[in-house]
Amino acid sequence: MVSFFARKVFFCFLVCHICVPSPSFASEPPSIKVAALEFGTINWVLQTIKRTQLDKKNGFNLIIHPVANTQAGKIALQANAADIIISDWIWVARQRGNQQTTFSFAPYSSATGGVMVSKQSPTTQLSDLAHKKIGVAGGPLDKNWLLLKALALKQNTHLNTPSNTVFGAPPLLNNLFRQGDVDVLVNFWHYNARLKAEGYVEFTTTQKIIEKLGVKNHIPMLGYVFRSTWAHNNSLALNSFLSASQQASSLLCHSDPHWTAILPLTRTDNASTQALLREDFCKGRITHFSDDDKQAVTHIYSILAEVGGQQLTGPISRLDPDLFWPLPSP
């Protein structure tokens, strides 16, 4: 027969067990699902976050959702199947103008692209490009291409004749460029890095084009995009994610072992290409974003709207600076 004392001890244990949460039932950290291109450079950062457990250390759980293309990521975000994607402020501005769902943008990188010429090219100034066959990645509304056209127009040079412009996928255009089928190539930065490693010449970068258009700020071209309502409801987790992203980027730029860990994601065994990829990735890092930077982006948006028209921006001719989410302090 169980003694009175034993029954009392059991009763106290039962009460305590019910009233005090067991560690196994403790609240889990919030999850953040990021839809990212399966082979996109953003995976360098996301995989570093997971591998070093920066998500856990910053109080959230990162879930990486691979997508086949940028459009699939946008669809996932709009369908609430993802919390965050990588995109640009042009898409965010257009979506906000449609007044369907309000999105926000947290700056991530200024690395976007540039203009490549052949090893023996006599090209020395922008006007020389007018008579060249130009390959353009990303289509006729690509930001690199539109900004190049804007600078050319500023210098009374026209580049957009259909007979000398070829649009296509980045890897295809790299091959056409190597074969000499196009004289000049406007491509994304990580594809240009591969060409630079092979000895091709970077005629200019999009950031240098922006400077010649009168903007000296370090302009973010890509960023994390998310629903504004979700961001305000989950601001602590979101800011923790943004901090973890900056921490991971810093590890990739300042720690050789951490950079070495993501080398398989670069999809190249060439040491020169890997070094250039790292250099350009680190040059593009955005660690702060001021009100003056917002005004600079607004100015660049107006230039893009003028050159790209409503095909690019829809009816939104002026950028709303409220679309930018503040970056947490480093």
* pLDDT per residue as tens digits for the range 213-259: 999 999 999 999 999 999 999 999 999 999 999 999 999 999 999 99
CA-to-CA distance for 296 and 101, rounded, in angstroms?
25
List, for residues 190-219, the tens digit of each pLDDT value: 999 999 999 999 999 999 999 999 999 999
Q: Which residue type, as a one-letter code, is found at position 25?
A: F
- Does residue 239 or residue 99 have the better pLDDT? 239
Domain with CATH 3.40.190.10 in the chain: 31-110+218-323, 113-212
pLDDT higher than 80, residue 10: no
CB contact at 8 A, 176 and 137? no
Q: Cα separations (Å) of 192 from 22, 87, 113, 253, 264?
A: 54, 20, 7, 19, 19
Residue 19: the pLDDT is 45
Q: What is the pTM of this model?
A: 0.89
Averaged pLDDT of the chain: 91
Residue 98: the pLDDT is 75
CA-to-CA distance for 157 and 110, rounded, in angstroms?
26
* CATH architecture for residues 113-212: 3-Layer(aba) Sandwich (3.40)
Using DSSP's 3-state secondary structure scheme, residue 99 falls into coil
CATH code for residues 31-110+218-323: 3.40.190.10
Residue 160: the pLDDT is 66
pLDDT higher than 60, residue 16: no
List, for residues 134-151, the tens digit of each pLDDT value: 999 989 999 999 999 999
Using DSSP's 3-state secondary structure scheme, residue 104 falls into strand
The model's confidence at residue 159, banded by pLDDT at 50, 70 and 90, is confident
Handedness of CA 110, 115, 118, 121 (dihedral sign): negative
Residue 38: the pLDDT is 86
pLDDT higher than 80, residue 121: yes
Among residues 297, 289, 291, the alpha carbon closest in space to that of 90 is found at: 297
- Does residue 318 or residue 47 have the better pLDDT? 47
b/e burial code for range 248-272 (CB count within 10 A of at least 16 → b): bbbbbeeeeebbebbeeebebeeee
